[in-house]
Amino acid sequence: MTPLMEADDLAVDYQAPGRRVRALDGVDLTVARGETVGIVGESGSGKSTLGSAIGRLLSQNAQLSHGALTIDGESLFDLSAVQMRRVRREKLGFVFQDPIGSLDPTKRVGAQLRLALRGRGASLDVTGQLERVRLADPRRIARAYPHQLSGGMAQRVAIAMAMATEPELLVADEPTAALDSQVRDDVSTMIFALAAEAGTSILWLSHDLAAVGRRCGRVAVMYGGRVVEDGPASEVLARPAHPYTHALANSAPASAAPGERLQPVPGRPPVLTGPSPGCAFADRCGFAIERCRSERPRPVRIKAQSVLCHRAEELAGSAALAVHGVG
C-alpha cells in the first residue's frame, strides 16, 4: 500500500548571505496511514525544514536539491501551485510552536475559523469546532481577537483550524513548546485524541525524546539533516542503536518532569555547508573511527530499527549503548 507520506533521499539547501546551509541531507522517511511518528533532534537538525517541506511551505531562499517527497503517491514538487493548495486543504494540517503568530491578529477568532472552514468545504459549526478542542465558553472565544487569548487557548484555536477537515496528516512542529508547563500535557493529549478519532496520522517534531516516545508509535531521530535512527518508539527509547540516540537518551535526567528540556548532548552541532562526507555525528561520537569521517553510512537494520551508523552491528552486540535505568 502506498505510504501516506514518503521522503526519499530528500535534500534541501538554504541560500543565506555568503553561505549555503544544507538543512536536509538525504532524508528517508515514511508515514503510514494512522501512524504517529515523532521526529526528534536538537536545534538545527532539520525538523522544521522537513515539516515545512511537507506542505511546500519552505521559505523563499530554500531549494530542493534532490530527492522526492510524496503525499498519497503524489509528488509534491511536481504539483502546480493550485494542485498543491488542494493537497494542503484536503490532506494536510499544520500546528506550529507560536499559536498567536499562526492566527490573523486583525480578525476575530470566529470569523477566521469560519473562513478556514469554508475554504475547506467543512461544516460551518464554529462553536462546535471550538468545543471539540475543549474551549470553555466557545461563544466568547469566537468573539475574541487572538491577542485576547492565552497561549493555550490560542493553540487550541489553531488546532481546531488544523483539524477542522480531519486531514490525513497533521504536522505538529513543537506545538506545546511555547505553552505553560501545566497545559502542555493537556494540549498534547488532546491533539493525539482528536487525531485518533479522525484517523489522522501525526508527524510530531520535538526536542524531547522521552516525551515523544511516550506518545508516538514510532520515533525517527534526526541529526545534521539526516534520519539517523528510525524504529518503534519503545525500542528506540530502551535500546537505542545509534550513538547519537544513546547520547540523547542518557542526557535526559531520569527525574525530568514531562516536557522538561533535555540537557544537551556534549559537543557542538555540525556545520552544514554541504553534503556531509561522512557521518555528521562523527566529531561528537565516542565510537567514531576513521571510516566515519570519510564514508557516508548507509542504513543498517538492527532488529526493528533502521540505523545510519558504520558500527551499528558491532555496537548492538555489546553493552556500549545501554540506557541508564533501563534493564
Residues within the interface to ligand ATP (CB under 6 A): 14, 16, 21, 23, 41, 43-49, 59, 61, 207, 272
Which of ligand ATP, Mg ion, none interacts with 155 (beta carbon under 5 to 8 A by kind)?
Answer: none
Which of Mg ion, ligand ATP, none interacts with 129 (beta carbon under 5 to 8 A by kind)?
Answer: none
- Cβ at position 174, least distance to ligand ATP in Å: 7
Residue numbers 10-49 binding Mg ion by CB under 5 A? 47-48
306 binds Mg ion (CB under 5 A): no
- Cβ at position 48, least distance to Mg ion in Å: 3
Q: In this structure, are residues 92 and 132 in contact, taking their beta carbons and an 8 Å threshold?
A: no
Which of ligand ATP, Mg ion, none interacts with 188 (beta carbon under 5 to 8 A by kind)?
Answer: none
Euclidean distance between CA atoms 251 and 265, whole angstroms: 6
Which residues lie closer than 8 Å to 183 by C-beta, 6 or more apart? 151, 152, 176
206 binds Mg ion (CB under 5 A): no
Nearer to ligand ATP, 281 or 287 (CB): 281
Which bin fits 216, alpha (ψ -120 to 50), beta or left (φ > 0)? beta
Size, binding site for Mg ion by CB under 5 A = 2
79 three-class SS: coil
What is the DSSP-derived secondary structure letter of residue 282?
A: G
Distances (CA, A) of 221 to 124, 142, 205, 270, 325: 39, 39, 10, 15, 21
- Cβ at position 100, least distance to ligand ATP in Å: 18
Nearer to Mg ion, 47 or 239 (CB): 47
200 binds Mg ion (CB under 5 A): no
Distances (CA, A) of 116 to 38, 126, 236, 312: 27, 10, 38, 47
What sign has the CA pseudo-torsion 30, 236, 195, 106? negative
Which residue in the shown chain puts its C-beta closest to Mg ion? 48
Q: Residues in the site for Mg ion, rule: CB under 5 A?
A: 47-48
